[in-house]
Amino acid sequence: MKLQPGSVLAGKYSVTGVLGEGGMGTVYQGRHIEIGYTVAIKVLREDHLGDNDSVSRFHAEARAVAKLRTKHVAKVFDEERWRTGCRSW
């Protein structure tokens, strides 16, 4: 699922651009609509959504990164599965 600037995710994050793409997904820059802080949103590629191993690795990565406490790694605040089946963190 390619997101465009202005797309709203989970009713709270507005996409402002693309930060990078990799083998499992795309990382977007966004803004929390109500609070206004800048966020990075990692979205699993559509062709991985039907692969349970890929979905499990994506979820495990979110949990592992959420445990890290360093200024050099982005904090994980949320994980979401959208009605489309798409996953992000």
The contacts of residue 70 (CB under 8 Å, 6+ apart) are: none
pLDDT of residue 47: 87
Q: Which CATH number do you get for residue 38?
A: 3.30.200.20
Is 61 among the domain residues? yes
Is 28 among the domain residues? yes
Is 70 among the domain residues? yes
Domain with 24 in it? 8-78
- Per DSSP, the three-state class of 68 is coil
Is 38 among the domain residues? yes
pLDDT of the chain along its 89 residues, tens only?
688 999 998 888 999 999 999 988 899 999 999 999 999 888 888 888 888 898 888 888 888 988 999 988 888 877 776 554 455 55
Total domain count, the chain: 1
Phi, psi of 33 (to 5 degrees): -60, -45
Tokens of 76: 């994980």
pLDDT of residue 74: 82
Pairing state of beta strands 80-81 and 38-44? unpaired
Is 33 among the domain residues? yes
Is 86 among the domain residues? no
